[in-house]
Structure 1
Amino acid sequence: MEQNAARRTLVRVAEAAHLTDDVVRLVLEPVEEGKLPDWDAGAHVDLHLASGLSRQYSLCGDSSDTTAYTVCVLREAAGRGGSAEVHDALTVGTELTISGPRNHFELVPAPRFLFVAGGIGITPVTAMIVEAERRGADWSLLYGGRSAASMVFAGELTERHGDRVTLVPQDVDGLIDVVRALADVEPGTHVYCCGPEGLLDAIGKACEAIGITDRLHIERFAAGEAPPPPVDGETAFEVELRRSGLTLTVGADQTLLEVVRDVRSDIDFSCQEGYCGSCESRVIEGSPDHRGTMMTPEEHDEDGTMLICVGRSRSPRLVLDL
């Protein structure tokens, strides 16, 4: 799929159910007859809301079912308004467009997996568990949350999978002890973690301490309160939008995304912090300065892409496939 030219699909909310006081599950079906695009465990879709906001949500459940997509959305009191709009405006029958699915959290081939989820970070893991079961891989889940009542899918997961699942409600057991969890990790185990920043930092340090960072896969969910400001000492550069036939100047105090959207308002974006992937664009020429956390600079270079919300250029001129 071409970056930043993702196909948009018109869908309708078929079901909207509150799983907890602040988490709603939406089932999205295509308005036109047929199936939705194929997806793999770990993928997410962009919901394009009536306000103009776009937000990314991981797909839940069985990736072999493309008759509908299921997402779960946490209402974030300190968010930028996207989750509140989802909760308040997306009722049964509401139509909206989505794009994707896109996946930078793929489940790699491996004999065994340790899944670590915090809060709403459980959503992509539900699909990974289904896929691991389909492959016949060994797996276990360590799932933490504020309280047992706040942990969506907890009852379903424990009932279906028994002692493969360990629940850690914070109000009873405290935070997940990632050091202990990793102490007996068997060779060849890949660790997948999704949750709040503190959990991701802790598991990153724990994996580094035992030398398995090459088998750690993380996904960030939370958006900050505002996009990061330009760094002092930045230099201006030119960007050519090859398909648009335009050449623009990105000032030292501007982001590449800001400049591009001045002339291409159709370009998708969301987090403005370099982790969601909405603004990922293909690089034709030039040397990008990668600053996002979605992938490593080496992975971006191999893929030939960059995140234009935070990335800049090391060369005087950059050519993008936009």
Structure 2
Amino acid sequence: MPPDLRGRRSRDPFWVVVGALFNGIQWVRSLRTPVIPYVRPVDRGLTLVVQETRREAADVVGLRLGAPDGGLLPRWQPGCHLDLLLPSGRRRQYSLCGDPADRRSYRIAVRRLPAGGGGSIEVHEDLVEGRTVRVQGPRNAFPFLASESYLFLAGGIGITPILPMVQAAERAGADWRLVYTGRSRETLPFLDELAGLPPGRIVIRTDDEHGVPRSADLLRDAGPGTAVYCCGPAPMIDAVRGAFSAGTLHYERFAPAPIVDGRPFTVELARTGTTIGVAAGQSALEAIKAELPSVAYSCRQGFCGTCRVRVLDGTVDQRAATDQGGDSMLICVSRARGGHLTLDL
């Protein structure tokens, strides 16, 4: 169209209509598209105070934790654990072993492991009565499900998640049995509490009195339909898994499972340029920890997510259900698929 007296061209009516229609469509779409408000991250951590410490067995300390103001704590069920954020920065998981009906306190029990990663020693030496500690949870990675018949297998400190289950089964009137094993009676926590339960349902087996138990000794009462709950050292769990054939088996480890199909690979720590060799039977976490002792970790089994690290180069053999893709990995369980990884460490 010709320009007007000021040199401006008149707008073509066709394009005026098209523009109006387009703007109308966009306006209608905006009405249908929900506006997502900013969501502030929720801190689910708690600051608790150590109300009581008690020697439960040789090298085992029990801690009772409560709110500083004595208020109610979040509910929990048998099988739940707390994440303790220790003063050193270490993060460790410990099973709740008290009474779920007690909303004023949480109880955990920790065995001192001189050759461990330092978390248990810190609990024993630093978490004295009156000390505050940050926790997260409770969380449940070992849920206790309803059944008419139970067989509970506990090895040493593995009694911690099992004890509330046994007490819940007794209250529910279920048919249950407990086999509790350990090196000696002096190393077994909570024997005094178990003494208050029907003695005919509990078998205490110690290595010094009865020898190391076989899987047949542990699973003698595992009849058809029995729900078996097992927690203890890796050899005990592996023996039970290998021999189990009836009912349903639920188990929780306190240590990582052995690596039986691993291949060696190398890891480059991008921030220092250091290259580390990871052996076939070794986790990347173990190898990295020798070079970088401050590396964060906790469960060592691939479920807590503490040791997640960004992958800068290489292909990851994801071995944890919580791994979310090739741009990061849980170095406690996942490995390299192509022989080499570069990590943001």
Aligned to 2:126: 89
Q: Structure 1 residue 9 and structure 2 residue 63: aligned?
A: no
Structure with more contact order per residue of length (Cα contacts < 8 Å, sep ≥ 6): 1
Aligned to 2:301: 274
Tell me the SS of whatever aligns to 1:171.
Answer: helix
Tell me the SS of whatever aligns to 2:145.
Answer: coil
In structure 2, the CA distance between the partners of 1:140 and 1:31, relative to structure 1 (3 Å rule), is same
- Provide Cα deviations, 1:43-62, integer angstroms capped at 9, x if missing partner: 11011111111111100122
In structure 2, the CA distance between the partners of 1:93 and 1:140, relative to structure 1 (3 Å rule), is same
Q: Are the equivalent residues in 2 in contact too, given 1:75–1:84 (CA < 8 A)?
A: yes
Q: Structure 1 residue 218 and structure 2 residue 268: aligned?
A: no
Per the TM alignment, residue 231 of structure 1 is displaced from its structure 2 partner at its CA by 5.5
In structure 2, the CA distance between the partners of 1:184 and 1:113, relative to structure 1 (3 Å rule), is closer
TM-score, structure 1 length as denominator?
0.72
Letter in 2 for 1:274: Q
Q: Are the equivalent residues in 1 in contact too, given 2:222–2:228 (CA < 8 A)?
A: no
In structure 2, the CA distance between the partners of 1:180 and 1:150, relative to structure 1 (3 Å rule), is closer
TM-score, structure 2 length as denominator?
0.67
Aligned to 1:67: 104
- Provide Cα deviations, 1:72-100, integer angstroms capped at 9, x if missing partner: 00001210111001000110000010011
Q: Structure 1 residue 291 and structure 2 residue 324: aligned?
A: no
Aligned-CA RMSD value: 3.6
Q: Are the equivalent residues in 1 in contact too, given 2:87–2:133 (CA < 8 A)?
A: yes
Q: Are the equivalent residues in 2 in contact too, given 1:158–1:165 (CA < 8 A)?
A: no
Letter in 2 for 1:136: G
Q: Are the equivalent residues in 1 in contact too, given 2:63–2:107 (CA < 8 A)?
A: yes
Per the TM alignment, residue 183 of structure 1 is displaced from its structure 2 partner at its CA by 3.8
Aligned length: 268
Q: Flag structure 2 segments of 5+ consecutive residues without an equivalent.
A: 1-40, 269-274, 286-294, 309-315, 338-345
- Give distance in 1, aligned partners of 2:236 and 2:139: 24
Q: Structure 1 residue 310 and structure 2 residue 300: aligned?
A: no
Aligned to 1:113: 150
- Give distance in 1, aligned partners of 2:104 and 2:136: 16
Tell me the SS of whatever aligns to 1:85.
Answer: helix
Instruction: Report % sequence identity.
Output: 41
Per the TM alignment, residue 159 of structure 1 is displaced from its structure 2 partner at its CA by 3.5
In structure 2, the CA distance between the partners of 1:74 and 1:184, relative to structure 1 (3 Å rule), is closer
Q: Are the equivalent residues in 2 in contact too, given 1:268–1:278 (CA < 8 A)?
A: no
Letter in 2 for 1:118: G
Q: Flag structure 1 segments of 5+ consecutive residues without an equivalent.
A: 237-250, 258-266, 282-287, 315-322
Aligned to 2:168: 131
Q: Are the equivalent residues in 1 in contact too, given 2:149–2:176 (CA < 8 A)?
A: yes
Q: Work out which of the two has the higher radius of gyration on C-alpha atoms and give 1 or 2.
A: 2
- Give distance in 2, aligned partners of 1:117 and 1:45: 19
- Provide Cα deviations, 1:7-27, integer angstroms capped at 9, x if missing partner: 110000000111223000000
- Give distance in 2, aligned partners of 1:9 and 1:115: 31
- Give distance in 2, aligned partners of 1:35 and 1:78: 37
Q: Structure 1 residue 103 and structure 2 residue 126: aligned?
A: no
Aligned to 1:186: 223
- Give distance in 2, aligned partners of 1:268 and 1:51: 11
Aligned to 2:81: 44
